[in-house]
Structure 1
Amino acid sequence: MTTSALAGPAGQLHPPAEETHESGQFAEGLLHGDEQSFAAIYRHWAPLVHTLAARTLGDAREAEDVTQQVFLAAWRGRSGFRPERGPLGAWLVGITRRKTVDALAARTRRTELAAAAAHVPAQTAEPKPGVSPEECLDRVLLADELAKLPLPQREVLCLAFYEDLTQVQIAERTGIPLGTVKSHVRRGLHRLRRRITETYGPTGSGAAL
């Protein structure tokens, strides 16, 4: 199914007419927990869900995350689907709208956290009682290198380093999918190791990263 086939008047999205009968069959299978029916629902409706999410979010990767969340919610909440209240497509669109709103709210939280994280370097530069000059220097250098990372990576690493949060806790705090958090941590640490090694040498600050 192409996305263009879903475009209706005034930019609204609707299922192609030939899918109406099939959707009824898919809906019945969904209500009975049939995985083959659910797979067919995903194939038919994922382009629509992704298009709706991408139009609102303006980010294809975020739209992919939302699409996965929509169909996960549909499967888990299939007992709440009522065919007599409306077609399957309308139900999925409703879930999409809610998940997109959640994604926008999570984006706002990430922006706020990033703004807070921007103050971390200045805080870590202040000497503290009982901290050796070497440790203080390490913290300052680490904060400086963190500030140079892409925003998503800097955000999750700051939460891990300075608030001692686990990856699961970071996902819960920010609303970022756990798989994305793990990816940001992995890439961020790789960048930090490379930058610190290039700048300070293999025995410099951050060798334990």
Structure 2
Amino acid sequence: MTAILTRDELAQALGRTGQGDRAAFRAVYESTSAKLMGVCLRILSDRQLAEDVLQDTYLTVWRKAETFDASRASPITWLVTIARNRSIDRLRSGAPMRTAAPIEAAIDLADAGPLPSAVTEQGDDVRRLNGCLEQLDEKVARCIRTAFFEGVTYDVLAEREGAPLGTMKSWIRRGLQRLKACLDQ
């Protein structure tokens, strides 16, 4: 079983990856691939496409790890942003999808505004967001972080927390409303 790296260890491993350290890259992959696969799979709804995008994601990480700046974003936020962008790019490319859902369902994924991850990467915004998240109930904050930064579905979150799906959706909806109110101050 592979050990999950802490935030600092992951940032250091990304820095070494940027210098061509294959062992560090392996550690980054082993520590984050399950989370990033979840992000890709949630957006693409097709395991094979998600695996292809995950591979593209790690190729990008290998090539761009030297640009990672721990003062601007957490390592997982940086990695999730790459996976999310690659997944959305794949949707937009018109690559054949083998799912039964119509492509129109993907419209909700793309947003003309800045990506949430791009917004949170800004130093002051990160501090404000984290401060507002700390004001929420610990369980609600954890669920919001997991859903939005790791791409875990509400169904999976509900199962993990032992709560009904409707309750999980309510927790997150009310938590997001409180976050918005806090951030608007």
Higher relative contact order (CA 8 A, sep 6+): 2
TM-score of the two chains, using structure 1 as the length reference:
0.42
Select the structure of larger CA radius of gyration: 1
TM-score of the two chains, using structure 2 as the length reference:
0.47
